[in-house]
Chains A and B, each alone.
Chain A
Amino acid sequence: METSTLPLSSSTRGKLISAGYTSLSSISSVSSTDLARDVNITEAEAFEILKMANHQVTGSSTSLINGARNAWDMLHEEEALPRITTSCSDLDKILGGGISCRDVTEIGGVPGIGKTQIGIQLSVNVQIPSEFGGLGGKAIYIDTEGSFMVERALQIAEACVEDMEEYTGYIHKHYKANQVQLKPKDILENIFYFRVCSYTEQIALVNHLDKFISENKDVKVVIVDSITFHFRQDFDDLAQRTRVLSEMALKFMKLAKKFSLAVVLLNQVTTKYTEGSFQLALALGDSWSHSCTNRVILYWNGDERYAYIDKSPSLPSASASYTVTSRGLRNSSSSSKRVKMM
């Protein structure tokens, strides 16, 4: 292993190499004071370099690797993962119960198919209290296009509260209908809304979310509507765009894992010419399509809206239909048909 692979600034690296420390084994045997004197850097810097070098070296030793966990333990964790319902049971079924927390899910589709509707529905459903099987968390809604209509969010919140009250009425027959503590205005209070007006703000906000969520630990879903908009028009250098997007995707993944929340990215659609004809594909290019863990595509099939699981590490490809009603997302009336599996 070479010292040139260590994450250091180029001048420090240059100094190390010109002083003769080209491989990691040469550093491991030297003390920090000696290194500092030889290379002409401060002792604190030398200490940092030694720490980095040792970290790399122990990774290749044959004893247990730092930070690894065995798959059996992870199984229990995966099964206990909470999921956010979409209020449409067919859709929940193909998603394995709902949108999973700790994962980045990308949802894309043509204009008017219901992406913003799903976004608003999820930001309301994440707040369903645990007595009703929900997460009781808060939502962050990052709006890049101005499509968040607060009147619609109120409609969906009211419908959600009504459904919960009806449910309490069925199950606890002796309870009165208005036992539900959560009111529509409270639901709106728990949606943190950010309006992003340029890609710089988008990147800045993603970087800042770490601090924001540390201060608001009960946020359980981050919805970005849509990630594409600013990146589609303002970037001239496409290679640069790809690099910046990959970094943003990594940050989202880290957020999802660190705080155990769900990240939902809504994407637009573009046409590309492949296999001899024009086909629809999600925007932002081929490199971006690798960045998200799960991918759901919304499309029209005849007169109905369908969702298709395009990419998932654990769910089979399947499609299910849903409708958008005045109360939000629901099963379509023809849902007596079974869910189609590939």
Chain B
Amino acid sequence: MANKLIGEMDLHKRISNIFAARNIITAKDALSMTEFELMELLDVGVNEIQSAVRLISQAASPPCLSARSLMEQKVENEYLSGHLPTHLKGLDSALCGGIPFGVLTELVGPPGIGKSQFCMKLALSASFPKAYGGLDGRVVYIDVESKFSSRRVIEMGLKSFPEVFHLKGMAQEMAGRILVLRPASLSDFTESIQELKESILQNQVKLLVIDSMTALLSGENKPGDQRHQQHQLGWHISFLKSLAEFARIPIVVTNQVRSQNRDETSQYSFQAKLKDGSQEHTRTYDSHLVAALGINWAHAVTIRLVLESKSGQRIIKVAKSPMSPPLAFPFHITSAGISLLSDEGTELKGPGINNIHARGHSEMINFNGDCS
């Protein structure tokens, strides 16, 4: 819409030529300047500019839909009203059916918690035919850290969907639908996703998994070059979101964690003035972890699932979701992939749901020399 040509809109020929003469070709060029600036540049009166801008705006505006027709479209056209089931009952009911189409879903957690396992299982289930709860399409799996293991995927398939997998040739066909990419650098990745956007609909791609986003960005910049990194990330955020929307597919992205400095317990300027005893507990002495990639990224994802390990128990939490309460489910990893230990989540109140806990290694390293 932004690139609509002014020459093709219903503007008066004279005005249209004036715009073209000053190199204002698309709606984006015209609307990036204020009306006053346009007046100065084009040497045209204020009324003419206003009516020209009005016409350009009308042509470049997005169409209107009522929320009701939005819902009806989803129900009619999309599988399960636009959700990809994760086969984890508690999580699926919290998310109104599963991972939603058209938005970014983020999985964040400390290393070794099970993010890649979750992604692999999701990729597998998306490749299944509709009768078995899949999307009957291809999956593009962008594996930056070389964590994708086909052997593991087949193992998960055999254990969790034995009736499907034992059918002749199924394993080959399902695994054949998962396309794994290993980009060597951020620019490779950028090129690949741009290419993907062109061909996504013809090639029946129904799910995009990026594992992990942080690894892509971390290798690229000189340390301390925060501003540049944020700017680059900004382009990718917009692109991925528009890709998800345009193709109506779910995009699942994994994110790593980093430790939080004391300086970063940020508050608003007015909070210092509010005399409230409960302010003090933000200055804890735990070094706890936060999601990497910054606050801009946190705003951009629609659903954030936090995986953490607390007192030896792995927990998956729905930390940010416009349609679910903040629930936490305990889970464990088996040969069949991730499974929930309880489908009834516990509701966590407060900002604590965003905190990420990780266990140390003292539970694993046994100092007494016993084998456990």
With a CB–CB cut-off of 8 A, which chain B residues contact A111?
Answer: 295, 298-299, 304, 320
**Which residues in chain B, 180-219, are within 8 Å of chain A measured between CB atoms?**
none
Query: Is A200 in contact with B32, judged by CB distance below 8 angstroms?
Result: yes
A141 at the binding interface (Cβ < 8 Å): yes
With a CB–CB cut-off of 8 A, which chain A residues contact B299?
Answer: 111, 145, 226, 228-229, 268-269
**Which residues in chain A, 1-40, are within 8 Å of chain B measured between CB atoms?**
7-12
Instruction: Say which residue of B37, B65, B266, B323 sits within 8 Å of A151 (CB atoms).
Output: B323
- CB proximity of A304 to chain B, nearest CB, Å: 7
Give bound CA distance, A104 to B167, whole Å. 62
Query: Is B300 in contact with A188, judged by CB distance below 8 angstroms?
Result: no
Give bound CA distance, A207 to B45, whole Å. 18
State how many residues of chain A have any CB contact under 8 Å with chain B.
87
B1 at the binding interface (Cβ < 8 Å): yes
Query: Is A269 in contact with B295, judged by CB distance below 8 angstroms?
Result: yes
- CB proximity of A314 to chain B, nearest CB, Å: 18
Q: A279-B269, A304-B350, A319-B274 are in contact. Are A212 and B64 (CB under 8 A)?
A: yes
Name the residue in A154, A232, A319 with the highest tally of chain B Cβ atoms < 10 Å from its Cβ: A232
A190 at the binding interface (Cβ < 8 Å): yes
B162 at the binding interface (Cβ < 8 Å): no
Interface size class of B (residues with CB under 8 A): 35 or more
- CB proximity of B306 to chain A, nearest CB, Å: 11
- Identity of the chain B residue whose Cβ is nearest the Cβ of A10 in the assembled complex: B43
B284 at the binding interface (Cβ < 8 Å): no
B234 at the binding interface (Cβ < 8 Å): yes
**Which residues in chain B, 303-353, are within 8 Å of chain A measured between CB atoms?**
304, 319-320, 322-323, 325, 349-352
B60 at the binding interface (Cβ < 8 Å): yes
Query: Is B238 in contact with A146, judged by CB distance below 8 angstroms?
Result: no
Give bound CA distance, A99 to B14, whole Å. 45
Encoded as 1 (CB less than 8 Å from any B CB) or 0, chain A from 86 to 120 comes to 00000000000000000000000011100011001
Binds A, one of B95-103, B107-115, B130-138, B150-158: B95-103
With a CB–CB cut-off of 8 A, which chain B residues contact A192?
Answer: 64-66
- Identity of the chain B residue whose Cβ is nearest the Cβ of A303 in the assembled complex: B350
Q: A111-B295, A279-B268 are in contact. Are A301 and B278 (CB under 8 A)?
A: yes
B281 at the binding interface (Cβ < 8 Å): yes
A167 at the binding interface (Cβ < 8 Å): no
- CB proximity of A236 to chain B, nearest CB, Å: 9
- CB proximity of A151 to chain B, nearest CB, Å: 5
Query: Is B266 in contact with A280, judged by CB distance below 8 angstroms?
Result: yes
With a CB–CB cut-off of 8 A, which chain B residues contact A191?
Answer: 66-68
Query: Is B32 in contact with A244, judged by CB distance below 8 angstroms?
Result: yes
With a CB–CB cut-off of 8 A, which chain B residues contact A151?
Answer: 71, 81, 96, 323
Binds A, one of B50-58, B121-129, B168-176, B363-371: B50-58
Encoded as 1 (CB less than 8 Å from any A CB) or 0, chain B from 278 to 292 comes to 110100000000000
- CB proximity of B304 to chain A, nearest CB, Å: 7
Do most interface residues of chain B lie in helix, strand or loop, or is the interface mixed?
A: helix
A170 at the binding interface (Cβ < 8 Å): no
With a CB–CB cut-off of 8 A, which chain B residues contact A117?
Answer: 322
B92 at the binding interface (Cβ < 8 Å): no
Query: Is A204 in contact with B27, judged by CB distance below 8 angstroms?
Result: yes
With a CB–CB cut-off of 8 A, which chain B residues contact A150?
Answer: 67, 70-71, 74
B242 at the binding interface (Cβ < 8 Å): yes
- CB proximity of A265 to chain B, nearest CB, Å: 15
- Identity of the chain B residue whose Cβ is nearest the Cβ of A237 in the assembled complex: B32
- CB proximity of B318 to chain A, nearest CB, Å: 10
Binds B, one of A75-83, A253-261, A270-278: A270-278
Give bound CA distance, A267 to B287, whole Å. 30
B20 at the binding interface (Cβ < 8 Å): no
Encoded as 1 (CB less than 8 Å from any B CB) or 0, chain A from 182 to 217 comes to 000100111111111111110111111011100000
A163 at the binding interface (Cβ < 8 Å): no
Encoded as 1 (CB less than 8 Å from any B CB) or 0, chain A from 148 to 182 comes to 11111111000000000000000000000000000
A55 at the binding interface (Cβ < 8 Å): no
With a CB–CB cut-off of 8 A, which chain A residues contact B351?
Answer: 300, 303
Query: Is A146 in contact with B67, judged by CB distance below 8 angstroms?
Result: no
With a CB–CB cut-off of 8 A, which chain A residues contact B103?
Answer: 146-147
Q: A200-B32, A234-B238, A274-B269 are in contact. Are A185 and B68 (CB under 8 A)?
A: yes
- CB proximity of B19 to chain A, nearest CB, Å: 14
Do most interface residues of chain A lie in helix, strand or loop, or is the interface mixed?
A: mixed
Query: Is A154 in contact with B71, judged by CB distance below 8 angstroms?
Result: yes
- CB proximity of B298 to chain A, nearest CB, Å: 4
- CB proximity of B194 to chain A, nearest CB, Å: 16
Instruction: Say which residue of B57, B62, B81 sits within 8 Å of A207 (CB atoms).
Output: B57
B271 at the binding interface (Cβ < 8 Å): yes
Give bound CA distance, A270 to B54, whole Å. 33
Query: Is A8 in contact with B45, judged by CB distance below 8 angstroms?
Result: yes
Query: Is A188 in contact with B278, judged by CB distance below 8 angstroms?
Result: no
Give bound CA distance, A317 to B68, whole Å. 38
- CB proximity of B96 to chain A, nearest CB, Å: 5
Query: Is A112 in contact with B354, judged by CB distance below 8 angstroms?
Result: yes
With a CB–CB cut-off of 8 A, which chain B residues contact A317?
Answer: 270
Instruction: Say which residue of B32, B46, B56 sits within 8 Å of A240 (CB atoms).
Output: B32
- CB proximity of B156 to chain A, nearest CB, Å: 29
Encoded as 1 (CB less than 8 Å from any A CB) or 0, chain B from 232 to 244 comes to 0011011001101
- Identity of the chain B residue whose Cβ is nearest the Cβ of A247 in the assembled complex: B34
Instruction: Say which residue of A210, A233, A340 sits within 8 Å of B237 (CB atoms).
Output: A233
Give bound CA distance, A165 to B309, whole Å. 45
Give bound CA distance, A180 to B5, whole Å. 49
With a CB–CB cut-off of 8 A, which chain B residues contact A313?
Answer: none
Give bound CA distance, A274 to B272, whole Å. 13
A308 at the binding interface (Cβ < 8 Å): yes
Q: A193-B67, A212-B64 are in contact. Are A204 and B31 (CB under 8 A)?
A: yes
With a CB–CB cut-off of 8 A, which chain B residues contact A299?
Answer: 267-268, 271
**New contact pairs (20) apart from A154-B71, A188-B71, A205-B57, CB-CB < 8 Å:** A9-B39, A10-B40, A48-B45, A145-B241, A148-B67, A149-B100, A151-B96, A185-B68, A189-B68, A192-B65, A193-B65, A194-B62, A195-B62, A197-B2, A198-B1, A200-B60, A201-B61, A229-B300, A271-B264, A302-B281
A-B contact pairs, 13 of them (CB 8 A): A11-B43, A145-B300, A148-B67, A151-B81, A153-B67, A200-B28, A204-B56, A210-B54, A226-B299, A234-B235, A279-B266, A303-B350, A304-B349
